[in-house]
């Protein structure tokens, strides 16, 4: 695990039950190592602890037991050290309604103290790259769901963060838009050398995008950890899909 | 809808009221319902005579100072209540208690506690407006969407940047609404405060009109305050139009 960029070492996370009756274990003794530049898909049914693992990597919550390290540091304890190093693409776009598309892309750069001219240039470049040239001054309500999600992807990439965390970013989109954005997203992650963790419900999405698929079983325990060959044949993909389906249907 | 039609719609209820008043003035004693022509000349007279108009300026100054003070203190208290459960438990009941105290009681307390007119009126305006500002700002702070908060938090902002980039724009609509509501309340409270404890201002002028039984004068002084409130509301409306142009408007609402 020493060369891992993100490492879970016997990590457990428990929450108090809402009724006050003891603890609910969301993540159970997970050990996982994610290498630099790897795009990993966390796959599992609803409530299997994917989001809890995601929030721990993001530093939004801390493990109850075990050790989690991102770039050798504790993302919760060293929260501010990760400024500009972790970017998140959320399930819904989470655009600020009072900001135009380009101002939304700029927000992460503002937090980093990037000078106005430079951040405007970087935001513009990412919007253009994601096919949103001409929509810079549009407010979120004037954009379609797919366009808004592109803005949120541009917002994450504009900070040039090393770690990219994605929480089902295409699940709210129609099939055609989602498919197109998935392809663009995979290309962007690889071209920019990001280490990315991707949460999804979709087996096809995981196989299409990821270098590696980790399937979780409730409470978050690793049931399968498989590599996806970059040029996998249709037969290999079908075989992988069948194995994942078998685990998820248990 | 055309601008002319909108203006006509806005003016219609006022024209109806004015018409009813004028009809009453033709059929009832003048000291009860004076002609609107007389009232108009009295309004104009107050506008043009500084010795009278300075009473309006004094009252407006008291409203602005009282509301401004209440807003600043209220916003600080609301921020503290939003950050700390202990502060919420401590300040919340006090504000609820303050809300239950009638404005006239605060007037009496102020007369007993303070010597000068201005400290008395400032105190009254402050304590009567404070609870509303506290609860309105607190409600706005608590309504900041959690998903947007987490999104901004994911970029690890400083406290100041979080406030300026997320909190302030998110609560601004509620703050402006709070000002609109409290402005109307304050214009009523200030008159009561001046009526009892001042030697100048619209409230004091109203007291004089009552003593000489001059309905036209009473109406003219009241209209001064109403005109101020309308101008202030119009100004806030302009700020809203400019600040909230990002909002989508349904075609059904046009």
Confidence of residue A233 (pLDDT cuts 50, 70, 90): confident
Selected for mutation to probe chain B from A90, A92, A97, A162 (highest B CB count within 10 Å) is A97
B253 contacts chain A (CB < 8 A): no
Identify whether the C-beta of residue B127 lies closer than 8 Å to the C-beta of residue B106.
yes
Write the CB contacts of A177 (distance below 8 Å, at least 6 apart in sequence): A145, A146
CATH architecture of the domain A1-34+43-83+195-250 equals: 3-Layer(aba) Sandwich (3.40)
- Sign of the dihedral through C-alpha B216, B221, B224, B230: negative
B54 contacts chain A (CB < 8 A): no
A149 contacts chain B (CB < 8 A): no
Q: What pLDDT is recorded for position B152?
A: 94
Q: What pLDDT is recorded for position A76?
A: 93
- Which residues of chain B have a CB within 8 Å of the CB of A79? 156
Nearest to B156 among A82, A96, A139 (CB): A82
Burial class (CB in 10 A: 0-12, 13-18, 19+), A49: buried
Q: What pLDDT is recorded for position B250?
A: 64
**Minimal C-alpha gap between B244 and chain A (Å):** 7
CA distances from B181 to B24, B39, B67, B189, B240 (A): 32, 28, 11, 13, 14
SS3 content of chain A, % helix, strand, coil (to 5): 40, 25, 35
Nearest to A111 among B147, B150, B161 (CB): B161
Q: What pLDDT is recorded for position A188?
A: 83
Q: What pLDDT is recorded for position B1?
A: 65
**Minimal C-alpha gap between B154 and chain A (Å):** 7
Give the start-end residues of each E strand in A45-149.
65-70, 86-89
Nearest to B156 among A80, A139, A141 (CB): A80
Q: Beta-carbon neighbour count of residue A227 at 10 Å?
A: 12
Nearest to B155 among A60, A92, A108 (CB): A108
Nearest to B165 among A58, A90, A110 (CB): A110
Q: What is the mean pLDDT of residues A112-119?
A: 94
pLDDT means per 10 residues, chain B with 254 residues, are 82 90 90 90 92 93 95 96 94 94 91 90 94 95 93 92 94 93 91 83 91 92 91 90 79 57
Element (H, E) at A164: strand A163-167
Q: What pLDDT is recorded for position A1?
A: 46
The domains located in chain B, with CATH, are 50-247 (1.10.3720.10)
Q: Beta-carbon neighbour count of residue B41 at 10 Å?
A: 13
Domain ranges in chain A? 1-34+43-83+195-250
**A79 with B148: Cβ contact below 8 A:** no
- Which residues of chain B have a CB within 8 Å of the CB of A99? 246
CA distances from A171 to A145, A154, A176 (A): 11, 17, 12
Q: What is the mean pLDDT of residues A93-108?
A: 95
A217 contacts chain B (CB < 8 A): no
């Amino acid at each position: 695990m020493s060369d891992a960029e993100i490492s879970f070492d016997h990590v457990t996370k428990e929450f108090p039950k809402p009724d006050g009756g003891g603890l609910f274990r969301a993540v159970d003794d997970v050990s996982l190592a994610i290498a630099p530049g790897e795009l990993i898909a966390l796959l599992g049914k609803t409530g299997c602890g994917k989001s809890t693992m995601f929030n721990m990597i993001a530093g939004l919550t801390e493990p109850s037991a075990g050790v989690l390290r991102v770039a050798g540091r504790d993302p919760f304890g060293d929260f501010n050290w990760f400024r500009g190093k972790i970017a998140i693409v959320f399930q819904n776009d989470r655009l600020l309604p009072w900001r135009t598309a380009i101002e939304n892309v700029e927000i992460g750069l503002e937090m980093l103290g990037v000078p106005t001219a430079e951040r405007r240039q970087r935001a513009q470049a990412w919007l253009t790259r994601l096919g949103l040239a001409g929509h810079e001054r549009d407010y979120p309500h004037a954009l379609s769901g797919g366009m808004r999600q592109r803005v949120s992807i541009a917002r994450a990439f504009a900070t040039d963060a090393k770690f990219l965390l994605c929480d089902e970013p295409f699940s709210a989109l129609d099939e055609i838009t989602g498919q197109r954005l998935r392809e663009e997203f995979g290309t962007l992650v690889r071209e920019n050398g990001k280490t990315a963790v991707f949460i999804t419900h979709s087996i096809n999405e995981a196989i299409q995008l990821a270098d590696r698929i980790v399937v979780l079983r409730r409470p978050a325990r690793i049931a399968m950890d498989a590599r996806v060959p970059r040029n996998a044949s249709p037969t290999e993909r079908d075989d992988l899909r069948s194995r994942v389906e078998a685990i998820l249907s248990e | 809808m055309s601008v002319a039609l909108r203006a006509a719609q806005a003016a219609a209820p006022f024209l109806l009221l004015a018409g009813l008043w004028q009809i009453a003035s033709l059929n009832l004693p003048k000291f009860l319902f004076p002609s609107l022509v007389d009232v108009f000349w009295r309004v104009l007279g107050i506008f043009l005579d500084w010795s009278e108009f300075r009473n309006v300026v004094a009252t407006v100054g008291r409203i602005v100072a009282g509301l401004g003070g209440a807003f600043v203190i209220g916003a600080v208290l609301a921020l503290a209540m939003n950050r700390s459960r202990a502060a919420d438990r401590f300040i919340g009941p006090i504000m609820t208690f303050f809300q239950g105290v009638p404005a006239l009681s605060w007037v009496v307390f102020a007369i007993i506690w303070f010597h000068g007119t201005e400290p008395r009126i400032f105190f009254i305006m402050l304590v009567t407006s404070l609870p509303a500002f506290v609860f309105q700002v607190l409600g706005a702070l608590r309504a900041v969407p959690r998903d947007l908060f987490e999104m901004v938090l994911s970029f690890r902002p400083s406290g100041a940047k979080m406030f300026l980039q997320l909190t302030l724009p998110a609560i601004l609509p509620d703050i402006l609404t709070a000002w609109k509501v409290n402005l109307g309340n304050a214009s009523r409270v200030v008159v009561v405060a001046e009526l009892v404890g001042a030697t100048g201002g619209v409230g004091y002028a109203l007291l004089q009109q009552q003593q000489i039984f001059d309905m036209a004068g009473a109406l003219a002084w009241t209209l001064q305050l109403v005109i101020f409130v309308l101008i202030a509301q119009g100004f806030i409306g302009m700020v809203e139009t400019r600040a909230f142009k990002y909002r989508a408007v349904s075609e059904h609402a046009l």
